[in-house]
A and B are shown apart, each in its own frame.
Chain A
Amino acid sequence: MSLLQEEREIIVQNEYADSFDFQEIEEFVKNASKNLFISHNFKNKNKMLVQPRGGFPTYEKQFALNEFFVKANVDVLPLTIDSNTRLNDYAMAKKMLRLSEENEVDMLNGYPLVNHGYRTTRKMITHFDKPVSLRHGTPDARLLIETAIASGIFEIEGGPITYLLPYSKNFPLDKAFLYWKYVERVCANYSKLNEPINRESFGPLTATLVPPCITIVIQLLEMLLSLEEGVKSFSVSFSQTGSVNQDIVTSAVLKKMAKYYAKEIDCEDAQINLVYHQWMGAFPSNKDYSESLINTSTVIAALVKADKIITKTRDEAFGIPTKEANAKTVANTQYTLRILQGLPNIINEQEEEILTQEVKSIMEAVFNDSADTLWRKVFNSIKNGTIDVPFSPHIINNNEVVTVRDKDKNIRIIKRGNLPISDKCFEYEKSKCNLNKDATSIVNDIIHDIGIMQ
């Protein structure tokens, strides 16, 4: 038995999880319907896939949510996991699940997959015969991912950086890299049995003034960490930045660089897709404005030719959206996409050139770190601020980079911290901003920007 398989046997030993029958699970994956694989859908559905968010604690409510989505013509079903499971607290998830089942009130903010178990959940997943995307935010997702794949969920979101720096304060980053390495290996192994399991990185990060070069570098690194473990289908992603121009430039550079770096590690055979998130920042309390904002996102997704769009709802400012609101946004997004055909290619050469240079400089600095493995190079780069995510709550993040919006709403770097971008690029970034203001005004601009869409 391989070391990985021995580790897997230990990981699934948990009193809150099903007892795992790995042989049966392999047979299931081998014979599973191709429709369940998003990688198959990416290849064969000649349209942008639409995926909402959503997860309810009880099986019945999750089933009902999926029925709503199917009626609204969803392409990819979501399964959002509750926050107790995200913290590996299955005991609390079990307690809250029982209370949710006994009462009308939902005591969890998502579906406690480990507690429901793969045997139960698989019935729902195979019933709808649509690809399901696992959305969670878990640094140690090893048991969760084993359960998900055994359930028929063949699209796994997250990564060691994108599920840690925006979500966690002190979970050890090196552990996150090792735990995600396990996830990648498991996904890679199952990918040999049928269509590839898709891994999707979480591009929005903190969703607050993250400069495109940081988003792209993190997407590329999570992609490389995944591909080097044998994953054959990977989705890079980013969210609406607030500037249409910057979104178009970001997508162009991200697509180009993803192909370039995949080839650099001899993984050009992997399928790379682009996912676009509708606005991830604070939403307006006016629901009509929210709808307008969501529609704008859909237009941009069409302009950047994303392979998948992840939707938001008009109720976003008011708590967890209802299944009706979720289904409505899916139907509206599908409608908008149908009428947005034949859009022109927009190219901004100068912005693309600057962004490409920034990305290459940071990537080169990461690769030049003296560590012997890629994950350790990335770990060191985050520790020393070569990679720095604005507004990350994690204690390891350098938090020296300061960004503001220019007059055209582009996110610009005005303090580069330890980001290894060239003086030329940095001067370009600053030249777009009005830096004659005093520090208080700039801070006020940043605070105001957090509510930019209001």
Chain B
Amino acid sequence: MKNKLLIDIGSTYFKVSDNENLQQHFRDFNKDIFDDLKYKCNEILEKYKKEDIYICSSANGGLSTLIIGTSNSFSLKFATNIAFNSGINIIDTVLYQDIKTTSIPSDLIDVVIIAGGIDSVSKLFDEELFNYLEQINYSNIVYVGNKNDSEELSKKIENLVVLPNIINNKLQVNEDELKEYLTNLYQADIMGKEDIKHLYDITSNQIYPTPYIVNKTLPVINNMLKVADPFILVDIGGATTDIHYSTTLVNDNMIKNNEYDRLVFKKLGVFKSKESLIFAAKNNEFVYELLANMNVTENIFEEQSDKAIKVLMKLAIFLVLYKVSEAHPQYVHLKLNLLKSIVLTGGITKVLKDEEVEDIVGFFYKKILNSQIKPNIVLDSNYEIWTLGITQK
């Protein structure tokens, strides 16, 4: 940490930290990120050399990714996992056997990942794949499936990048090459984005996605915070909410170097995706009880006040826990009854107090899990998680 300046560019706030102080600034959306940062933090920026400034960012929303795989249990699951842990946002996954009936995404996709099969199998893909790819609009495409099909696919798909298979013959995951490819692509994406690329004027270090940095920190989180495993880390941002979780909480068949995974809730933020958060809240059968517990009515959703922001943040905590609980079958189901700690990071830690978070988590455990015992709550108020992760090589 010594003599280093650390900057996290979020969709709503900048966080700037050195070993003396930590600042948080609300972004001015009328300015580009670089100008805004220079305007607000010039004094501190001028104190540091380019090689001592480290930046991570989730501000440009990351890369949008589509994954095509031949099985849910292996290729799709493995590729999804690697993409999430690289800080990438997944817009959709396609099971290859359903490719004919799958709707075509209209958005521009930054990267398509094709995965499937162990190296000893072959001829998993046919014309259906090429027909599908012709209809979608993508910038990059990477193949991480069985070795035998790679030559044929390379011939037929223009600009296909072929990387080693993410599944070995023992059905174990090989994540390194795809992870590196995706983080480099993210870097290239940043370089190409007008409002981010100028950030390289102030740093000579690589700019990484914030979730990638957080994921790197989790195995050593105990060095800084009083956290007992299994734990989840919830990062409630302006646009999205991320949960990083200990894989002890799921029944998984993957063995990786880092036993922590990430989930992204793209529509659960308290600023940019505020409307979808309110929509989700209104559709949750427990939320009115929760509002009563907070001593507010649903009119709070119409308010523009500090109090309303607090309520939204509390709702976000409740809703993400709800979405990964047994009560909600659509997402990964985490065994929350085994959970020992919940760590909260991001802007939320500057707004909510310990007891307010405890109150919401206690409500969730009592109402949804019928348990009087709740996990230990830890607020990462000084952004120690990303400051450690960003300086770790």
- Chain A residues with CB under 8 Å of chain B are 3, 6-7, 10-11, 13-15, 88, 91, 140, 169-175, 178-179, 383, 395-396, 398-399
Once bound together, how far apart are the Cα atoms of A395 and B173, in whole Å?
A: 10
- Whether A140 lies near B248 (C-beta < 8 A) is yes
Which of B219, B248, B373, B375 sits near A171, CB closer than 8 Å? B248
**Distance A175 CA – B261 CA, assembled complex (angstroms):** 14
CB of B384 to closest CB in A, whole Å = 15
Q: Distance (Å) between the CB of A258 and the closest chain B CB?
A: 30
The verdict on A13 contacting B248 (CB below 8 Å), with A3-B222, A396-B255 known, is: no
The reply to whether A170 and B229 form a contact with Cβ atoms under 8 Å apart is no
- Residue B170 CB within 8 A of the other chain: yes
Give Cα A173 to B255, complex, Å: 8
B284 at the interface (CB under 8 A from A): no
Name the B residues within 8 Å of A11 (CB-CB). Answer: 228, 340
Assess the A172–B373 pair: CB atoms within 8 A.
no
Known: A15-B373, A172-B255. 8 other contacts (CB 8 A): A10-B341, A170-B255, A175-B259, A178-B229, A383-B255, A395-B170, A395-B171, A398-B170
Instruction: Name B's A-contacting residues (CB within 8 A).
Output: 170-172, 219, 222, 226, 228-230, 246-248, 251-255, 259, 337-338, 340-341, 371-373, 375-376
Are A7 and B259 within 8 A (Cβ)?
Answer: no
Give Cα distance in the complex from A383 to B256, angstroms.
10
Q: How far is the CA of A317 from the CA of B170 in the complex (A)?
A: 32
- Partner of A6 from the list B172, B226, B259, B371 (CB cut-off 8 Å) is B226
Residues of B with C-beta under 8 A to A383: 255
Contact present for B248 and A172 (CB under 8 Å): yes
Closest B residue by C-beta to A399: B170
Once the chains bind, are B228 and A7 in contact (CB under 8 Å)?
yes
Q: Which partner residue on chain A sits nearest B335 by CB separation? A: A88
B253 to chain A, nearest CB (A): 5
A169 — nearest CB in chain B belongs to which residue?
A: B253
Contacting pair B373 A13 (CB below 8 A): yes
CA of A15 to CA of B226, assembled, Å: 21
**A175 & B246 in contact (Cβ 8 Å cutoff):** yes
Min CB distance A390 to B, Å, is 15
Min Cβ gap A14→B in Å is 6
How many Å from the CB of B12 to the closest CB on chain A? 32
CB distance from B127 to the nearest CB of A (A): 35
| A245: min CB distance to chain B, Å | 34
Contacts of B252 in A (CB 8 A): 170
Which secondary structure characterizes the binding site on chain B? loop
B contact residues around A179 at 8 Å (CB): 229
Look across to chain A and name the residue whose beta carbon is closest to the beta carbon of B338.
A88
Contacts of B230 in A (CB 8 A): 175
**Does A91 contact B337, Cβ atoms closer than 8 Å?**
yes
Q: Is the CB of A395 within 8 A of B255?
A: yes
How many angstroms between the C-alpha atoms of A150 and B340 in the bound complex?
Answer: 21
8 A-B pairs within 8 Å (CB atoms) are namely A6-B226, A14-B373, A169-B253, A172-B247, A174-B219, A175-B229, A383-B255, A398-B170
Most chain B beta carbons < 10 A, residue from A169, A173, A175: A175
Return B63 CB to nearest CB of chain A, in Å.
Answer: 28
| Residues on the A chain within 8 Å of B373, using CB | 13-15
A389, B338: Cα distance in complex, Å: 29
For A178, the chain B residues whose CB sits under 8 A away are 229
CA distance A343 to B259 in the complex (A): 51
Using CB atoms, name the residue of chain A closest to B170. A399
Residues on B with beta carbons closer than 8 Å to the beta carbon of A173: 255
Closest to A395 in B: B255
CA distance A271 to B266 in the complex (A): 56
On chain B, the residues within 8 Å of A398 by CB distance are: 170
* Residues from chain A with Cβ under 8 Å of B170 in the complex: 395, 398-399
A214 to B172, CA, bound (A): 22
**With the chains together, A383 CA to B376 CA distance in Å?**
32
Interfacial chain A residues near B229, Cβ < 8 Å = 175, 178-179
Residue from A91, A175, A395, A396 in contact with B248 in the complex, judged by beta carbons closer than 8 Å: A175
Tell me which residues across on chain A come within 8 A of B246, comparing CB atoms: 175
Residues of A contacting B251 in the complex (Cβ-Cβ under 8 angstroms):
170
Is the Cβ of A7 less than 8 Å from the Cβ of B226? yes
Contacts of B226 in A (CB 8 A): 3, 6-7
How many Å lie between the Cα of A170 and that of B172 in the bound state? Answer: 11
Known contacts A3-B222, A88-B338: does B259 contact A396 (CB below 8 Å)? no
Indicate if the CB atoms of B253 and A395 lie closer than 8 Å: yes
**A-B pairs with the 8 shortest C-beta distances?**
A10-B228, A172-B259, A15-B373, A396-B255, A10-B376, A7-B228, A6-B226, A170-B253
CA distance A399 to B251 in the complex (A): 22
Residues in B neighbouring A13, C-beta threshold 8 A = 340, 373, 376
Interchain CA distance A13-B339 in the complex, whole Å: 11
Is the pair A15, B371 in contact by a Cβ cutoff of 8 Å? yes
Q: Are B253 and A174 in contact, with the CB atoms below 8 A?
A: no
Q: Which A residues touch B171, using CB under 8 A?
A: 395
Residue on B nearest A7 in the bound complex, by CB: B228
A contact residues around B337 at 8 Å (CB) = 91
Contacts of A140 in B (CB 8 A): 248
CA gap between A383 and B373 in the complex, in Å: 36
Complex CA gap A169/B259 in Å reads 15
- Closest chain A residue to B376, Cβ basis: A10
| Residue of B with least CB distance to A173 | B255
Give the CA-CA distance A15 to B248 in the complex, in Å: 19
* A3 to B226 Cα, complex, angstroms: 7
- Please indicate the chain A residues that have their CB under 8 angstroms from the CB of B222 in the complex: 3
A174 touches B259 (CB 8 A): yes
Provide the bound-state CA to CA distance between A396 and B173, in Å.
Answer: 10
Name the residue of chain A whose CB is nearest to the CB of B373: A15
Specify which chain B residues have a CB less than 8 angstroms from the CB of A172 in the assembled complex: 247-248, 255, 259
Q: Which of B171, B230, B375 has the most CB of A within 10 A?
A: B230
* A171 vs B228: C-alpha distance when bound (angstroms): 17
Residues of B near A10 (CB, < 8 A) are: 228, 340-341, 375-376
Q: Which residues of A contact B376 (CB under 8 A)?
A: 10, 13
The interface residues of chain B lying within 8 Å CB-to-CB of A14 are 373
Q: How far is the CB of A334 from chain B (nearest CB, A)?
A: 42
* Shortest Cβ distance from A142 into B: residue: B228
CB nearest neighbor in B for A1: B226
A400 to chain B, nearest CB (A): 9
With A and B bound together, what is the CA distance between A29 and B252 in angstroms?
39
Most buried by B among A7, A11, A14, A172: A172
Cα A399 to Cα B172 in complex, Å, equals 12
